[in-house]
Amino acid sequence: MDELIDKLKKEVIAQLNLEDISVDDINPDSPLFGEGLGLDSIDALELIVLLEKNYGIKIEDPKDGKKIFYSIRTMAEFISEHQKKA
């Protein structure tokens, strides 16, 4: 899981072009949206693209994103679950 969390942090930084933010700056349990990193609805869509391109997981309804993208850890757990099912 830690490996996946680390990998995800790097991918999120790249996908969202968070130039000034390093892997160490992101707490895996901190909220990504609102407070924390302060991401918005467009970032959520970009994260949906990331899940599909990098992990083959398709999210049809952006509203589902709220729970999945709460934090890096929730993202990692979602990916793990889906990869087990596959």
Partner 1 sequence: MPSRIFVTGLGFISGLGSNVQENLDSLLNLRSAVGPVRYIETSLKDELCVSEVQMTKEELLAFAGLTGREACSRNSLLGMIAAREAFLHARLNEHQGLRIGLISGTTVGGMDECEKYYQDFLSNDSRNEFIDIYDCADSTEKIAGYLGLKGFMTTISTACSSAANSIMFAARMMKAGKLDCAIAGGTESLTKFHLNGFNALKILDKMPCRPFDAARNGINLGEGAAYLVLETEEAKKKTGNKIICELTGYGNACEAFHQTASSPDGTGAYLAMKKALDMSREHPDNIGYINAHGTGTDNNDLSEGRAIETLFPGKVPYVSSTKPFTGHMTSAAGSAEAIIAILALLNGIIWPNLNFSSPMPELNFKPVSELIRGVDLNVVMTNSFGFGGNDSSLIFKKYGIY
Partner 2 sequence: MTVPSFLKSMAYINGIGIISPQNTLPGQEFLEPAVEHTGDFLKAIEPVFKTYIEPIAARRMSRLIKMGISSAKICLQDAGISMPDAIITGTGLGSVEDTEKILSELTVEGKFLNPTPFIQSTYNTISSQIAISLKCHEYNSTYVHRCFSLESCLIDALLQISDGSATNVLTGGIDEMTLNHLSIIRRLGIWKSEAIRNLDLWSCGIPGAMAGEGSAYFIISGEKNEHTYARLEAAETLYKPGSTNETARLAACFLDENGLSCEDIDLVLMGNNGFEEHDSICEDIVSRALPDSSRVLYKHLSGEYHTVSGFALFVAANILKKQSIPGSLIVNAPAPKKLDNILIHNHYRNTDHSLILVRK
Q: Which residues of this protein are in contact with partner 2, per CB under 8 A?
A: 16-20, 37-38, 42-43, 45-46, 49, 52-53
Q: Does residue 41 interact with partner 1 by CB under 8 A?
A: yes
Residue 38, Ramachandran bin (φ over 0: left; ψ between -120 and 50: alpha; else beta) = left
By rule CB under 8 A, what string of x and - marks binding of each residue 47-76 to partner 1? -xx-----------xx--------------
4 binds, among partner 2, partner 1, none (CB under 5 to 8 A by kind): none
What is the rounded CA–CA span in Å between residue 48 and residue 44? Answer: 6
**What are the CA-CA distances from residue 58 to residues 39, 78, 82 (Å)?**
20, 12, 10
Report, in Å, the least distance between residue 1 CB and partner 1. Answer: 29
